[in-house]
Structure 1
């Protein structure tokens, strides 16, 4: 089975709650997924969750869980590449997907998921069938705790039969070429190209100016050429001297900052002298007290 590069988006059907999600495979190797390999649909009083695994030209790609997690949900495996999804139908109540069912090209049914036993007043039925003209290769929709809406991406095998079938079913389709690029990415690439073009243009102008100067020098008389060379050397020497002075000034400023930091961290000389005098006075006072105590013990003085 050969899938063309033409992709279309159908739907979504359902409510507008939750957050939007899109698994059309726009970043896949061929611009979109090439099929559905596995799916796991949560079923309660509505379609509570869905998780799909897609095919990207032979590579398995697992989608994101949409809805509430339930580890007891069984997985449905398709015999890909020979088996593909070609039909989807269901009901929604303008808020949530209440019932859902799929069918493959081998007439194998997946589902139903959800509950049709409740009062269906206000429910809306939706259905899309490719009728041997395409297959479902991706999904989109909205979800939060449950699945609010669902739509599909279809790989078209027979465009004439496919669009005729969609018209007869009253289904609106949107072309979704896998070759499309995000507009923001296009703008960023355009800006990068403009910057690179400007840089190359500047280098080209500088090269042309250098070439003109060289030609002028070659066309000059020898004496004038020597004077010009000496002038260029003087200018270059002055520029080197200027850069050297700037470097020396920066070095002096750096040394001053280091000295200021050292002086800030270390106590001043006067503070050190005061601390030393205070320590000596404390030692003399302790010595005097010790001397008086000795005199008292020997009877020579009273405390």
Structure 2
């Protein structure tokens, strides 16, 4: 089975919460299929996503793409009354090429958290910003552009009550 490498890039955000990462597997993710966020005016509450990875067909016969779900991280159901649910469904030829966001304070949380996220794709689409602050203090911006024909294929970071910090896995196309 072909092994591909992915670069682990980041971490942006605070030091609260517990670490999260992609599940260990024989190969790295090939491409993102969808990203789901729960967010409010001021923070990203929860993140989960699914991706395709190459796996060997049972009984031989070559490789196939298998859909793998990862997450959720953060408290996606704790804030149903204030959090908004959004799912980004990427087309088969669409890849995430940039992740942007802000880091700041939310309510009485001691550590900085991810206060907004925006995703850009090779198809020229922009998804977001999700989260953000109404008081014009959205936090400190960060940007994770992907160079040299790479794409974002997964996420890692820290989460507890909210998404505290985020990083990405970047893989060649």
- Could you tell me the TM-score, scaled by structure 1's length? 0.46
Residue 76 (structure 2) pairs with residue 76 (structure 1) = no
> What secondary structure sits across from 2:68 in the alignment?
strand
Q: Show structure 2 runs of 5+ residues with no match.
A: 55-64, 105-110
Counting only pairs closer than 5 Å after superposition, residues 21-170 of structure 1 correspond to structure 2 as 21-23=20-22, 25-27=23-25, 29-30=26-27, 32-44=28-40, 45-57=42-54, 58-70=65-77, 73-80=85-92, 82-93=93-104, 95-120=112-137, 123-131=139-147, 133-157=149-173
- In structure 1, the residue matched to 2:13 is 14
Deviations 1:31-70 (A, max 9, x none): x111110111111021111111111121110111111124
- Contact (CA 8 Å) 1:13, 1:149: kept in 2 or not? yes
Counting only pairs closer than 5 Å after superposition, residues 288-299 of structure 1 correspond to structure 2 as none
- Contact (CA 8 Å) 1:8, 1:156: kept in 2 or not? no
Deviation at 1:119, TM superposition (A): 4.1
Deviations 1:3-26 (A, max 9, x none): x82321110100000001111x54
Q: CA RMSD in A?
A: 2.1
Counting only pairs closer than 5 Å after superposition, residues 137-286 of structure 1 correspond to structure 2 as 137-157=153-173
Q: In proportion to residue count, which structure has more strand?
A: 2
